[in-house]
Amino acid sequence: MKVAEGRLAEAFARIRADKAGPGLVTYITAGDPDLKRTEGILLALQRGGVDVLEVGVPWSDPLADGPVIQRATERALAGGTNLSGVLDMLGRLRPELRVPIVLFSYANPILRMGAERFADRAREAGVDGVLVLDLPIEEAGEFRGLMTTRGIDTILLLSPTTSDARLRAAAGLGSGFLYAISRLGVTGARDAVAEGAEEMVRRIRSVSALPIALGFGISKPEHVREVGKWADAAVVGSALVNVIAQAAGVDQNGELDARVEEYVRWLKS
């Protein structure tokens, strides 16, 4: 059973119908530099033309995040950001956001809140999809059920080492889109798209008709164009988080928001 079509389905339908280029999914760490400025950043990303907003919940022990996102997480936690605060912020901002919101979290903050309470609050906040990075596919069924009954997509993460059997399982459980990571290791901008990225997307296409967003290492317009040859959308995270970190230190009269919007427009160029 798939989630009823909503903002994510509409976004990827538009992307597939638009021959101008691939979609763009952007990751930011909520609360970096603070939750109030996170609101401005999300609106700037929307103005820049982002197709899907991925909002990271800071947690003290990230497994897959490289140095840039780790530092952002540390700054957010030091400022008091937590899952409840992120959901409150998204709920306030939802009426101004037209694009889909995917909440990116590790399992611990969700389990601490309680999975059912989290599901209710995510629905109230207008969240369209949830990606729990360290939730194994084999244990995702119950969580997916909680999301599905509330009209929220469960986004599953696939890596180059994911077996064919687990790819098929993800194709059956996932909804909204599948998030493929192009390389092993932690997040971080790279000079080139990983050599195995095309093969990774091909393997997923062989078992699923769901849209595919490809991430890890993407930071330039040429990366986005290359990814668009195979996948439906490119995911940019660390490079954008780095732009935010650099601009936040000199933020005056909306400079942070302007730089974020400019960077996104550059990526989509």
pTM greater than 0.95: no
Give catalytic residue positions: 54, 65
> CB neighbours of 28 closer than 8 A, spacing ≥ 6?
38, 41, 42, 45, 53, 54, 55, 56, 237, 240, 241, 244
pLDDT tens-digit map of 34-69: 999 999 999 999 999 999 999 999 998 877 677 899
Q: What is the CATH number of domain 7-268?
A: 3.20.20.70
Residue ranges per domain, the chain? 7-268
The whole-number average pLDDT for the span 12-30 is 91
pLDDT tens-digit map of 78-88: 999 999 999 99
How many whole angstroms separate alpha carbon 204 and alpha carbon 187?
21
pLDDT tens-digit map of 185-217: 434 444 545 567 888 899 999 999 999 999 877
